Amino acid sequence: MTEWLSRDTLDFLIQAVYFVAAVLFIVGLKQMASPVTARRGVIWAGVGMLLAVLVTFFWQDMGNFALMLAALAIGSVMAWITAKRVAMTDMPQMVAVYNGMGGGAAAAIAAIELYNPGELGYVILVLAILGGMIGAVAFSGSMVAFAKLQGLVQKTLRFPGLQLLNALIFLATIGTGLALLLMEGYPGELLVAFFALALLAGITLTMPIGGADMPVVISLYNALTGLAVAFKGFVLDNAAMIIAGTVVGAAGMLLTHLMAKAMNRPLSNVLFAGFGDTEMEGGGAEGTMKAIDPSDAAIMMAYSEKVIIVPGYGLAVAQAQHKLWEFCERLGERDVEVKFAIHPVAGRMPGHMNVLLAEAGVPYDMIFDLEEINSEFEEADVALVIGANDVVNPDARNKKDSPIFGMPILNADKARNTLVVKRGRGTGFSGVQNPLFVADNTQMVFGDAQEVANKLLQGLKSLG
Amino acid sequence: MLELTGFVALYIFMLTAFVGYEIISRVPVILHTPLMSGSNFVHGIVVVGAMVVLGQADTTVEKVIGFLGVVLGAANAVGGYVVTERMLEMFKSSKGDKA
């Protein structure tokens, strides 16, 4: 298929297009860093991807085109359908799935390269092995993360000696990897063992991690896949893969670090301490909670000047964000100033809550980060906490032995009145007790978030 | 083809890593999820590598693994794109202009 162009010209064209694709990826990611240009950014990156894929058909000595087209079609259609269908609340686990597939693809490339190592140089062989290992770990780890967030795996595997087992599996993987590197003409079984061990390591490493920590882990695997792709780029002499993979690897590492910092959980803690779903003893905090009727709560807010809303994942689970936004619009009509305060880990990963609110139609300039809004709580008449718990727990500020001590929190307790919408009297996602619920200026609105949002809206409507 | 070996490769790796770091370091938290998804899409470029190994595969084993690689890589790219686009589509400001 290349008769009409010389090999040299084609190679030049391929490299030129890869260069353009790399530029589009970087510019696209850069644009994704601002809400105003974000959409354009992903489209630009998409164009880069499309160009890179098209031009790859003309790579030298290529065959198996029918197989290739079939594979592209299967992967694309499958992903297209699932991605179009997935609910916004389930977004984190879908990111995990697609990320895992990228890791799997990197591992597959490594498997072929190592199956037929031929004339691979020493450095390239190291990169092929490392990339394969990282890819395989990211693949199985991401799949476990998906299964846990999706609720397919309920149990959190944790037993004494687990860390030791993890260390052993990890060492065994490294050991077989070293053997691949050092043995001339290694047997196929060794290669199979290497990948099996790497896959197993991904599973046992991810199994003990609790649901609350999972986003950090997904982000970590995302970065690792990027790295694996970059290594594969070096093995295959493919500049587009090197650039895209490295950018994602570095960006992903920083993002992982930012997430872990926002949760006040060093990465090592997330991976090896297993706190994410600790079951703590005890139900409610000590003291008594004061209940308030939703309609009274609505009236209270209707006659306020400033209301700050602190939404949490519970809001999205109950699919109450649409009703809540309708309520806020009505408050706005009454000249009440409404702002949304988002904790970095609200939802299931940083920024997830923003996506869910955007879905309900909340404009992004009404949504504020922790740093932006924390000083404003003191001037607020009402802080409405809905579906959130740990992110407003004052213990994080002043109780040294609390498991969440040191985590930055939203100062909802500093508002003149705090309203907390809560299903029951128990503890939250992390099982930590929350003294905010029994504070003097706090009143509890008990009920499912959807039901409460409905009643709030009705209460406001009844005022006319 | 390009010869991306030795120190040239190392320089590319180092400089690109800094670019990645810089891109993320000033991102507002509200965009972390779309950005994670967006970067997830970008490493879908792995599909290109999988295409090359499948295209050059001779034995059945190589073809099977290569086929699998392309399926997974394509799913990474397409799924990552669609999910990111869906999320970003929803962001709008109160002035009514779409992002």
Q: What are the residue boundaries of the structural domains of chain A, listed by start?
A: 7-272, 294-461
Cβ-Cβ contacts under 8 Å between A and B: the total is 399
pLDDT digits (tens, 9 = 90+) for A44-60: 999 999 999 999 999 98
Q: What is the pLDDT of residue A369?
A: 86
pLDDT digits (tens, 9 = 90+) for A393-428: 888 888 877 777 778 889 999 999 999 998 876 655
Q: What is the pLDDT of residue A329?
A: 92
Q: What is the pLDDT of residue B1?
A: 57
What CATH superfamily classification does A294-461 receive? TPP-binding domain (3.40.50.1220)
Average pLDDT of chain B is 87
Contact flag B19-A92 (C-beta cutoff 8 Å): no
Highest average pLDDT, of A141-155, A333-347, A372-386, comes from A372-386
pLDDT digits (tens, 9 = 90+) for A419-458: 999 887 665 555 567 888 888 889 999 888 889 999 999 9
Contact flag A59-B51 (C-beta cutoff 8 Å): yes
For A16-40, what is the mean pLDDT? 91
pLDDT digits (tens, 9 = 90+) for A165-201: 888 999 999 999 999 998 888 888 999 999 999 999 9
Instruction: Work out the pLDDT band at B99, boundaries 50, 70, 90.
Output: very low
**Of A115-129, A171-185, A274-288, A372-386, the least confident:** A274-288
Q: What is the pTM of this model?
A: 0.82
pLDDT value at B15 more than 90: yes
Residue A433 tokens, joined: 């007790």
A146 CA to chain B: closest CA distance, Å?
A: 14
Instruction: Work out the pLDDT band at B46, boundaries 50, 70, 90.
Output: very high
Contact flag A355-B19 (C-beta cutoff 8 Å): no
Measured CA to CA, the distance from residue A194 to residue A148 in angstroms comes to: 25
Higher pLDDT, A16 or B9: A16
What percent of chain B lies above the pLDDT cut of 90? 59
- Whole-complex ipTM: 0.92
Measured CA to CA in angstroms, residue A221 lies from A138, A191, A268, A353, B22 at distances of: 5, 23, 14, 21, 20
Q: What is the pLDDT of residue A98?
A: 96
- Within 8 A of B90 by CB-CB distance, chain A residues are 355, 358-359
Q: What is the pLDDT of residue A36?
A: 83
Mutation target vs A (from B45, B51, B87; most A CBs, 10 A cutoff): B45
Instruction: Work out the pLDDT band at A141, boundaries 50, 70, 90.
Output: very high
Q: What is the pLDDT of residue A284?
A: 43
pLDDT digits (tens, 9 = 90+) for A227-236: 999 999 999 9
User: Catalytic: A390?
Assistant: yes
Contacts with B, A 380-419, CB within 8 Å: none
pLDDT value at A278 more than 70: no
Contact flag B36-A238 (C-beta cutoff 8 Å): no
CB-nearest partner of A105 from B69, B84, B88: B69
User: Does B10 touch chain A if contact means CB atoms closer than 8 Å?
Assistant: no
Contact flag B48-A247 (C-beta cutoff 8 Å): no
Contact flag A52-B45 (C-beta cutoff 8 Å): yes
- Within 8 A of A248 by CB-CB distance, chain B residues are 20, 39-40, 42-43
Average pLDDT of chain A is 87
For B57-73, what is the mean pLDDT? 95
pLDDT value at A7 more than 50: yes
Closest by CA position to A142, among listed A199, A198, A218: A218
Q: What is the pLDDT of residue A433?
A: 74
CB-nearest partner of A108 from B19, B32, B66: B66
Mutation target vs A (from B12, B29, B67; most A CBs, 10 A cutoff): B29
Q: What is the pLDDT of residue A276?
A: 47
Q: Could you tell me which chain A residue has the CA closest to the CA of B20?
A: A247
Contacts with B, A 217-236, CB within 8 Å: 218-219, 222, 225-226, 228-230, 232-234, 236
pLDDT value at A277 more than 80: no
Q: What is the pLDDT of residue A52?
A: 96
Instruction: Work out the pLDDT band at B98, boundaries 50, 70, 90.
Output: very low
**Of A61-65, A102-106, A225-229, the least confident:** A61-65
Contacts with A, B 18-77, CB within 8 Å: 18-21, 23-57, 61-63, 65-77
pLDDT value at B2 more than 70: no
A444 CA to chain B: closest CA distance, Å?
A: 28
- Within 8 A of B3 by CB-CB distance, chain A residues are 237
